Structure 1
Amino acid sequence: MKLLSATPSPYARKVRIALAEKGVAFDLLTEVPWNEDTSTPQHNPLEKLPVLILDDGETVYESDFILEWLEHHHPEPSMLPADPELRLAARRFEVLADGVCDAFVLWFFESFRPEAHRSQSWMDRQHRKITGGLAEIDRLVPAEAEFCVGDRFGLADIAVGTVLDYMRARYPALDWQTRHPALAARLDRLSERPSFRETVPVPQQIAGSVV
């Protein structure tokens, strides 16, 4: 099994953390999906990473679906609670984290445009999604609880940890830590976990055009 990944991607990092937590062996293949030499379109018609390449050549793509596939094929330890309400709570954190990441990517790519061609209203809208999403995560996370949902590490912790670390690294001007100190403390604790330490994002150079 191989994982086609971009190292800065929080979506790919979610999968890498889940694979590590489940003890699933895989080979990591690193690419920049924007560059001309990328093999991404050969494995995912949507041309997005991450992609799980199975031993028989079949592929599983989109991080949320990969995580679901892993839960089905490698159920232990589960990254989702057995209780239906807690499972929905974990999924809610995943939706919020992905939404914040999606908004940042849109904001970031808009910033690549020449200043005269940028849409400030578009960038402001994405910024509101980012700050609103982080505020909602802060509201929902139990401040004193060890884990985001239930009594064990799982998908909610992966989703929250990866989005917080992504915002800290890629959007330092946002300074979400000042607004949400409890989340900052939670990220510090998660960052000590081996699966987080082993998947710290590394910047990549984009040679291709993104806008």
Structure 2
Amino acid sequence: MRLYGSLTSPYVRKARILIREKNLPCEFVVADAWAADSPIPALNPLGKVPVLVLDNNEVLFDSPVIVEYLDSLQAPALLAAAGGERWDVLRWEALADGVLDAVVTRLLESRRPAAQQSADNLRRQEEKIARSLEYIARRLGNGPWLVADRFTPADLVVAVALEYTDFRYPHDWRGRHPRLGQWLAGVSARPSFIETRPPGMEKK
């Protein structure tokens, strides 16, 4: 298998973490989706990363599909096949992806020329992020995991979203949610997180 993506994309990082968690044989190909000679549009018509090319040359995208496929390759699966636990995990995944989308949207807006930036859009994205962190903090238990008694894709994607928030939208959310900061410190100490940390990401 070959995984295509950038070193800084949090969506790509989700797949890279799972590959390391499961010790799956997979080549990582660094590719810029925006480059003129990028291989990404030929693999994914949406022109987005990550892209996973299977051994039979079939192609999978986007990150939720890739993460679930990779999880299925080696037992035990981190995502339950059915039942309430599965839906709990998928809800956390949807929330975490929404946080990532808001952080990315805010980042792109902030990189526009100052005169063209939309203060309303910046505020809207920041409100989404704040509400989401409040939601996570309220539902965080006393244990190390979000669902059940083990590491699941819920922990993976929420931790990636929080670390990416630190990377691209640094602000003192830990002051408001100290227990959430402690939880993140535990998950992000896993080797799979340390080994996939993007260049330039400061550990908080």
> Could you state the TM-score of these two structures normalised by the residue count of structure 2?
0.92
**Deviation per CA, 1:87-108, whole angstroms, max 9, x where unpaired?**
1111111111100110111111
Instruction: Letter of the 2:8 partner, please give it.
Output: P
Structure 1 Cα separation of the partners of residues 101 and 166 of structure 2: 15
Aligned residue in 2 for 1:162:
160
**Deviation per CA, 1:24-53, whole angstroms, max 9, x where unpaired?**
111111122222232110111110101111
2:191 to 194, 200, 203: 194
Q: 1:75 to 1:69 in 2, by over 3 A?
A: same
Instruction: Letter of the 2:89 partner, please give it.
Output: A
Root mean square deviation, CA, Å: 1.6
SS of equivalent to 1:52: strand
Tell whether 2:128 aligns with 1:147: no
Q: Is the Cα–Cα contact under 8 Å of residues 16 and 196 in structure 2 kept in the other structure?
A: yes
Structure 1 segment 61-140 matched on structure 2, within 5 A: 61-72=61-72, 74-81=73-80, 84-140=83-139
Structure 2 Cα separation of the partners of residues 47 and 97 of structure 1: 22
Structure 2 Cα separation of the partners of residues 25 and 181 of structure 1: 37
Structure 2 Cα separation of the partners of residues 29 and 77 of structure 1: 27
Quote the sequence identity (%): 41
SS of equivalent to 1:200: coil
**Deviation per CA, 1:102-148, whole angstroms, max 9, x where unpaired?**
01111111112211111111111111111111111112221x11211
Task: Tell me by how many angstroms 1:192 deviates.
Answer: 1.7
Structure 2 Cα separation of the partners of residues 5 and 33 of structure 1: 8
> Could you state the TM-score of these two structures normalised by the residue count of structure 1?
0.89
Structure 1 Cα separation of the partners of residues 173 and 76 of structure 2: 32
Structure 1 Cα separation of the partners of residues 123 and 160 of structure 2: 23
Q: Which has the higher contact order (CA 8 A, sep 6+)?
A: 1
* Aligned residue-pair number: 201
Task: Tell me by how many angstroms 1:68 deviates.
Answer: 2.1
Task: Tell me by how many angstroms 1:83 deviates.
Answer: 5.8
Structure 2 Cα separation of the partners of residues 119 and 153 of structure 1: 39
Aligned residue in 2 for 1:209:
none
